[in-house]
Amino acid sequence: MDSGNKVASKSSKYGKRLAKIAKALGNNINGTPVNYKVYMTSDVNAWAMANGCVRVYSGLMDMMNDNEIEGVLGHELGHVALGHSLAEMKASYAIVAARDAISATQRCGFPAFPFTIR
């Protein structure tokens, strides 16, 4: 993900500000190291992944004070702690697998449902 985005350097005003805010929140959630970075974009967003990646967009940082950003980061860390992004990925893979299986049976001449619902 980082390779497709311009990432603020740690020495930039965004990097320094994020480091200051994140220090209060810590760099480890349930044994998972947290990796904070700022994406340089006017978009207003932040996200986290189960592996501890937390990304904040500079557009969001431009709109919020430090306390508000800390609240957003706390929200994102909650997703890391609860494994939300991992659970969502697993659910998405299961849905895709089910759709592929149904599609494959239909291509072989089998109906999607081998029974009639009345």
Catalytic residues: 76
Cβ of 33: how many Cβ atoms within 10 Å?
10
Question: In 31-116, which residue ranges form alpha helices assigned H by DSSP?
Answer: 58-63, 66-82, 84-107
Phi, psi of 81 (to 5 degrees): -60, -35
Q: Among 90, 89, 70, 87, which residue's Cα sits nearest to residue 26?
A: 70
- Give the largest CA-CA distance in the chain: 67
According to DSSP, the β-strands at 46-48 and 28-29 are unpaired
Structure tokens given for 78: 């909650």
